[in-house]
Structure 1
């Protein structure tokens, strides 16, 4: 029995993955990741420039502004393609280690597939955390600047709505000038503003009058104000049970005027969601974006497991390309299915948390199941 214990101790030690091997595998993976990431980012930047040149062809916009707009949008697009970068980098790493028989030697030494996957999984989770905590705040700030430039140069439209702790602010323009509307809140499920103040200005920002109302309901082509007090400079205030204010706003373009979820930092999303809910607006897109970012490290880990199922086994000559293509198609299929689930979540058909976490969770379980099958086989 003592002999069995002595002979089993080296085998037990061989089952542990050495720090040197872990660092080597992680370094190989990060090297491939950086190569793929910067190559894809460069391609995206060039494609964005071409797209903006086509959209701004009829506008009086200089090349410098076009290049600046493409640069401002680049971090957001880079974040969107990171799951594919993780997939390609993991497949390249495992394929290279398998081709050079380094993983074969590691397996012969008693290292399991889960042990030499651990450095890649840990690196991917760290990359996911960095993408959420660092890259996303940067991309949100730059994307908001891009949105403003695009509104000015492409759509010729400025933002007309803002939400703050004091309520919400709307700006509208008509033939006589412009109006600034402030409301403390909005009735859920409708466009009925509560505790409204309206400041009306003529040309050259000349103040005309102020309206204080209990409620303002958006109807076709007008705001209908109830219990309104109309105050003009040098004239006593007038009370109106109902007062009509012309407008070209609709419920849809008011909702569309909110800051897109992608332009709000991960750290600021919870506060913005609370402000929108307090104001009476639906915060479903922003809640979905928040949970989607939280699930990003899990999605990166799932991409590594999927890459391992297609790249770890030695392949016959001529089948390598087929296997790599199958892995890439699987990644793209998961991407489109994720977008489909997110769209369902935005519609309110399924809970936001389920819509945000389901793609990453299902991909992770699928990768684990396939690896368990291959490992047992």
Structure 2
């Protein structure tokens, strides 16, 4: 019985399929280095512009403050810079990826990479993974640092008199309010604050009025109080005036500039809070009867931010990753990339607002910009690469 042997030139059909070469680690490091250098340069330029305009605005606000020197104003601008820079982070990643692809194309390295059979996906995977890691580091470490620095900025702003007129604090330690008056200031403290049916109820309340010489002029203590309009109505208040015996009032009215809309406005800017503090604060604020949808929306947006950064890299590849493009077409591509970035920003702001107003589910509103951007970028890349 004879066996049939393959000829010398015969190969297995399964092994004759040509495959794409894998991306060499050296090439991964090279492309990633281009991206990181472009990202660092973009962040430095953006930070410089933000700091310049912020210092100019602070100089305008502190023009009549004698103790506000240029060094103090610059230091305050630096304290606020990291928080403001968080907003422009997706644009920085979009611009950095576009710059990296432009450099590779200008030096014809992109042509060589494509000619070697390397697909766009093989080049993008390291950049997408790098963007995901940098985004996670920003959420875990960058955001808490920015929030802590912004807290110091607010403290300095109040010290030199350019902060808000109503420093207000509501935490597990109770409610604190400090308001300026014509000849001094008033301090209001309540051990517990709760909102019910659009009414703010306080318990274990203390109202202390200070005179122009920082000495107390009178003090009122009450077990219960409520905020009605622009007045605190204290029930069963005991009023103490220096040099006089205490007097009891069944109902005492104390004027205030605080209102429920102002409380909601004060807590409608959760960007100044650390990512790690948001869950506990949301639980506490909702237990007090207040709406914490703005904080919940911001927390989900922070979680989805690494995915949005990855989507920005995909969109930049749509406009920048083409080995056969002419140099004259770069202006059109850059303009299209910039317009796409602004459209994504506008879309994210719309969904953010809809999430805060509970028109859309919070998770959907937070993840929609990242998912839509990623799917759009992937679809266009599939069309350009395989279509």
Runs of 5+ unmatched residues, structure 2: 1-5
1:1-377 residue pairs with structure 2 within 5 A? 3-4=11-12, 8=16, 11-12=18-19, 14-60=20-66, 61-153=68-160, 155=162, 157=164, 159-172=166-179, 174=181, 178-203=186-211, 204-206=214-216, 208-214=218-224, 216-226=225-235, 228-230=236-238, 232=240, 238=248, 240=250, 242-258=251-267, 260-313=269-322, 314-377=324-387
Q: SS at 2:31's partner residue?
A: helix
Distance 1:171 1:41, change over 3 A: closer
Q: How many residues align?
A: 372
> Contact 1:160–1:171 (CA<8 Å) still a contact in 2?
yes
Distance 1:207 1:363, change over 3 A: same
> Contact 2:320–2:333 (CA<8 Å) still a contact in 1?
yes
Give the distance between the partners of 2:76 and 2:246, measured in 1 at CA: 50
| Cα shift at 1:189 | 4.7
Distance 1:137 1:219, change over 3 A: same
CA-atom RMSD, angstroms? Answer: 2.7
| Cα shift at 1:104 | 3.4
Give the distance between the partners of 1:78 and 1:50, measured in 2 at CA: 17
Q: SS at 1:3's partner residue?
A: coil
Give the distance between the partners of 1:274 and 1:363, measured in 2 at CA: 31
Distance 1:332 1:189, change over 3 A: farther
Distance 1:54 1:20, change over 3 A: same
Deviates more, 1:100-109 or 1:140-149: 100-109
| Cα shift at 1:282 | 1.8
| Cα shift at 1:229 | 4.7
TM-score by length of 1: 0.88
Give the distance between the partners of 1:157 and 1:105, measured in 2 at CA: 58
Give the distance between the partners of 1:201 and 1:54, measured in 2 at CA: 32
Deviates more, 1:40-49 or 1:159-168: 159-168
Q: SS at 1:187's partner residue?
A: strand
Q: Deviations over 1:231-269 (max 9, x none)?
A: 6489578472x4433333222333334483122111111
Distance 1:28 1:18, change over 3 A: same
- Relative to its length, the structure with more helix (as a share) is 1
TM-score by length of 2: 0.86
Give the distance between the partners of 2:276 and 2:51, measured in 1 at CA: 27
Give the distance between the partners of 2:155 and 2:350, measured in 1 at CA: 28
